[in-house]
Amino acid sequence: MATAMTINPKWPTVLLISTAVVFGMGGCSLNTLMVNQMAPILSAALPSLEVEEDFEVARDAIPAQLKLLEGFLESSPNNRRLLELLARGWGNYAFGFIEDAIEEVKESDPARAEVLTARGQRLYLRGMNYGLRLLALTDDRFPAVMNQSPKKLEKALQDTNARDLIPALFWTGFGLAGAVNLGRDQPELIVRLPQVELIFKRIQELDESFFYAGSHLALGSFYASRIQLFGGDLEKGRDHFERAIHLTDGTFLMHKVLYAFYYAHHTQNRELFEKLLNEVVTTPATILPEQHLANVIAKRRAQRYLAWADDLF
């Protein structure tokens, strides 16, 4: 059934401001002032795409929006809202769309999958670096502490008690975790596994419900996707997935998808695998309206993994 087209009244204003910045209106200080004043409206641009129901529309639109925000950031490099949006946006784009593309071609076109994997890593790290820039505005130990010992990072994280730093920590960790996950054969990324665990454990301590229990989803994937030598623990992974599902009443569907893909697959529990994924397939994406797109992506992956079941078990 066709739906009526709506026009977001904010976009003419956003486009006007972007044009002013591009053409150098009034000098740097004026541009900075204008961007800072517009930050609340800019903050609504990317999240508005999270309610998009069409996978292809979102896939094609998001990079342009992120580049627009990067242009604004040039005029206001310490704008916290822009840094958070870019850390979140690039990480989510890599996870939702680049990883999807990798899965689609990894068997039929390994060379293309390799190119996409390298791109995904770059975008995840791009998001991570925006998160680190945001953290550095409050704690000057970042980003240098990321290249020091895990003990020093743990100390910096334990000193972080302000709840308003949780988004910066989360999206930094999200970008790092994604890059490591795509670079399991790269020693320079594998050595950062302890950092992933430390960051998400600290977020869990500060606010386990943040971004739909995202720290539990990250830790569940972390523990269930790797061997014990590299920090894996299947039962810990299961507990984190179960907690994430409980905290969100099962409405954030990616929890069940990754629970199936990592835990059920690695324990060779096909019954649980199919149960979880079939629940995702039969649940409407609108069960969590503000994350409609995330649920569309989850349902897409659930269908793909079900089709792979005979090869996985």
pLDDT of residue 66 exceeding 70: yes
Which range is least confidently modeled, 40-54, 64-78, 240-254, 259-273?
Answer: 40-54
Question: Domain residue spans in the chain?
Answer: 50-207, 232-313
Confidence of residue 231 (pLDDT cuts 50, 70, 90): confident
Sign of the Cα torsion 236, 251, 203, 51 reads positive
Confidence of residue 164 (pLDDT cuts 50, 70, 90): confident
How much is the mean pLDDT over the chain? 89
| Mean local confidence (pLDDT), 113-136 | 98
Do residues 243 and 223 make contact, with C-beta atoms less than 8 angstroms apart?
no
Do residues 124 and 182 make contact, with C-beta atoms less than 8 angstroms apart?
yes
Domain 50-207 annotated CATH 1.25.40.920:
yes
| b/e sequence 173-198, b meaning 16+ C-beta within 10 Å | bbbbbbbbbbbeeeeebeebbebbbb
What percent of the chain clears pLDDT 90, i.e. is strictly above it?
77
pTM, two decimal places: 0.87
| Mean local confidence (pLDDT), 19-38 | 58
